[in-house]
Amino acid sequence: MKTRMPALLAAGALTLSLTACGDEPAEEAASEPAQESPAPADVPALLGGLGDAVETVTNYTLSVESEALGMEQGDLSMSQTYEVMDDPEAFRCVSVMPYAGELMATMFSAAGALPEGVTAEDLSTSEYISHNGGELLLSDPHGLYGTETPWVYSARTTRTEAALDFDLVGLADLVSAFSGMEQAEAVGEEQVDGVGTTMIEGAMSSEQIAALREDQAAVLDGLLGRPAPEGMDAVLWIDEAGFPMRVEFSGAGSEVSMEFSAVGETSFEIPGEDEITEI
């Protein structure tokens, strides 16, 4: 492998030779001012404000990918996309979970209520909108509820928890859990959705996980699909304001990645009354 040293020595020898042979000493080239190296990232400061940074952002898109291997139901995976806007206050969630689709198809078929042509893959995708202070609108593209509109509403509709599922209410609690990572160090800089970030790697020990607040542990367990393992590795991409543009963590056969985008630019249309049937 070549290094810079031989080239610098060769250039110096050539300069000396020309100086000795010429009548006038060669003028020295003007030296350029040295460029200052960027200041090292303040890792404790970036990690310390994670929860507060997330709570202050009210408009964003969040993509969540999770996988849990060796579960009782087999290997599970789920992808979720949350679009959150603040004017009006509402969010839309689209989830894809193959296992749930297979389970629903079996249940509908056993009851003789599965619409013709609808597959387990179709049923693996669900979509809902939360608005008006928590009112839930359910997407019904396959007519499972027997209506002629693409959306349905019921005052009895509640959100049920499932393995690998995630609730936005716990977002700040989840992210703040990584504030005390051990052996955290900045390992580079990367762009995430056009935003410059510092990439920080670290780990959470069994003692740190055991010391999590109950609400933090509950969110973590839900995303992992199982009780939090004795230790986890994590990588965070944090911008200069302390906002985590991307978070990845894994342990005991589970992996989760979360990425923010369109911060301050997310919007979607809420269905009109003629698109909704109350059931």
Phi first, then psi: give them for residue 19, nearest 5 degrees. Answer: -65, -40
Contact criterion met (CB below 8 Å) for 200 and 183: no
Highest mean pLDDT, choosing among 26-35, 59-68, 202-211: 59-68
pLDDT digits (tens, 9 = 90+) for 59-99: 999 999 999 998 888 899 999 999 999 999 999 999 999 98
The per-residue pLDDT for 53 is 92
pLDDT digits (tens, 9 = 90+) for 231-247: 899 999 999 999 999 99
Radius of gyration, alpha carbons of the chain: 27
pLDDT digits (tens, 9 = 90+) for 89-121: 999 999 999 988 998 888 888 888 788 889 999
pLDDT at 268 over 60: yes
Overall residue count recorded for the chain in this entry? 279
Which residues, other chains included, contact 276 with Cβ-Cβ below 8 Å and sequence gap of 6+? 137, 149, 151, 152, 153
Say which residue, 159 or 117, is predicted with more confidence.
Answer: 117
Residue ranges of domains in the chain: 40-58+165-265
**What are the respective helix, strand and coil percentages of the chain, to the nearest 5?**
30, 35, 35
173 exposure class (CB count in 10 Å sphere: 0-12, 13-18, 19+): buried
6 exposure class (CB count in 10 Å sphere: 0-12, 13-18, 19+): exposed
The per-residue pLDDT for 159 is 59
- How far apart CA 200 and CA 220 sit, in angstroms, is 19
Residue 271's nearest CA partner among 173, 159, 150 is 150
- How far apart CA 103 and CA 101 sit, in angstroms, is 5
How much is the pTM? 0.81
